[in-house]
Amino acid sequence: MRYESTCTGLAGEIIGFEALGMDVAPLACAERKPSAQRYLKHQFGNRFLHGFTDNAAFVAGHGECFLHGRDCPCPAMRPDISIHGLPCQAYSWMRQRSGSTKNTGQVWQHPGHEEVFEVFHSYLRERQPLGWIVEEVPALAQPDKRTGIPFLQSFLRKCRSLGYCVVVLQMDHVVWVEMSRKRLWMIGFSEELGHKQAADAFLQIVHESEKFRELGEPTQIWNIVSPNSDAEMARQQYEESGGAHGQGVPGKDLFILYLRYNLNTNRTYLFCI
């Protein structure tokens, strides 16, 4: 399975795929954070063909490569699957939105928004992966103040215009860890992969796997999100955030703990939650 990735992070999915017995052939990845680049080079440096420092390299056809320390070309092969941990800062309720800089201003002014709405869709157009997976925060469902249309809807519309049938799932990671952490998972199926038929079969597998967990009663892990639930999800997300920046935000205590560790030890701790 030819696998590619942007906003790669630590590429943990490779370990997951291989644990399922799949044969993974990594093509290229893209990651901006130097700490993650160092990890990728150490862990998967002999497997990825190239590791770009910017997602835009896939659109440009070449870019700076942190694996080889020079400008490298994009692999000519089409990926079977691509995985994208796209930035969430633009949509996060944790972020100040009333400032005058790009990072503190409105959603559409934040550089992360362009990464989600321009660079990602350009990636799909250029690379045409057979299938893809994107992770985002549920706050993507908040309405764009300029138009009233939820960002999620506009995002999906762009994916569909590029020929993909998209399934949207929501999962609360409290299933795995003792902390509520809701995330959206968008999964795209190309015509060649079976489009809607493949998407329906995928959802069937999700239902079946929820029915037959090894321990205990059937557990609902995934919540399938319909386009009509966008507004309701946005409202819920806002209420859960306490309705204001930095007030009663779930996980805030953990965040403070993280900072305290940093100050005392002068080290960066990575929480894989």
The contact set with Zn ion (CB under 5 A) reads 50, 65, 67-68, 72
Query: At its nearest, how many Å lie between Zn ion and the CB of residue 134?
Result: 24
Query: At its nearest, how many Å lie between Zn ion and the CB of residue 48?
Result: 8
- The whole-angstrom separation of Cα 158 and Cα 17 is 28
Query: At its nearest, how many Å lie between Zn ion and the CB of residue 54?
Result: 13
At 172, phi and psi to the nearest 5? -100, 120
- Long-range contacts at 50-57 (CB < 8 A, ≥ 24 apart): 50/74, 50/75, 51/8, 52/28, 54/30, 55/6, 55/7, 55/30, 55/115, 55/119, 55/120, 55/123, 56/119, 57/28, 57/30
Of residues 108, 63, 38, 49, the one with CA closest to residue 270: 38
Residue number with CB closer to Zn ion (31 or 230): 31
Query: At its nearest, how many Å lie between Zn ion and the CB of residue 45?
Result: 10
Residue number with CB closer to Zn ion (67 or 124): 67
Query: At its nearest, how many Å lie between Zn ion and the CB of residue 8?
Result: 14
Residue number with CB closer to Zn ion (65 or 186): 65
Q: Which helix (H) or strand (E) holds 181?
A: none
- The whole-angstrom separation of Cα 154 and Cα 230 is 11
Residue number with CB closer to Zn ion (72 or 168): 72
Residue number with CB closer to Zn ion (51 or 131): 51
Residue number with CB closer to Zn ion (21 or 69): 69
Q: Which tokens go with 102?
A: 């790009």
* Strand ranges of the sheet holding 131-136, from the earlier edge strand across to the other edge: 25-26, 2-6, 81-84, 131-136, 182-189, 165-172, 222-224
Of residues 250, 135, 239, 258, the one with CA closest to residue 188: 135
Query: At its nearest, how many Å lie between Zn ion and the CB of residue 46?
Result: 12
Q: Can you state the percent helix, strand and coil of the chain, rounding each to 5?
A: 40, 20, 40
